[in-house]
Chain A
Amino acid sequence: MSVDTAKTGEPGASPMTDPAALETPLARARGLGSAREGAEHWWHERASAVAVLLLFVWLIVSLLRLPALDHRGVTEWLRDPLAAVPMLLLIAATFWHLKMGLQVIVEDYVHDEGNKFLVLLLLSFAAIGGAAFAIFAVLKIAFAATGLPR
Chain B
Amino acid sequence: MSRNPNRPLSPHLGVYKWGPHMLVSILHRVTGAGLATVGAAALVWWLVAAASGEEAYESFAGWAISWPGVVVGVGLTWAFFQHLLSGLRHLVMDIGAGFEIQGNKFWATMTMAGALLLTAALWLYIAMERL
Contact = CB atoms under 8 A, between A and B. Distances in A.
A121 interface: no
Interface in B107-131: 122, 125-126, 129
Main secondary structure of the interface of A (DSSP, over half): helix
B125 A137 contact: no
Contact of B47 (A60, A71, A111, A134): A134
B70 interface: no
A133 B35 contact: no
A137 B36 contact: no
Interface in A66-81: 69-72, 74-75, 78
Main secondary structure of the interface of B (DSSP, over half): helix
Interface of B: 1, 29, 32-33, 35-36, 40-41, 43-44, 47-48, 50-54, 57-58, 61, 80, 84, 87-88, 91, 94-96, 99, 122, 125-126, 129
Closest 7 pairs (CB-CB, A-B):
A98-B36, A137-B51, A71-B57, A137-B47, A140-B51, A137-B48, A71-B54
Interface of A: 22-24, 26, 46, 49-50, 53, 56, 60, 64, 69-72, 74-75, 78, 87, 91, 94-95, 98, 101-102, 105, 111, 130, 133-134, 136-138, 140-141
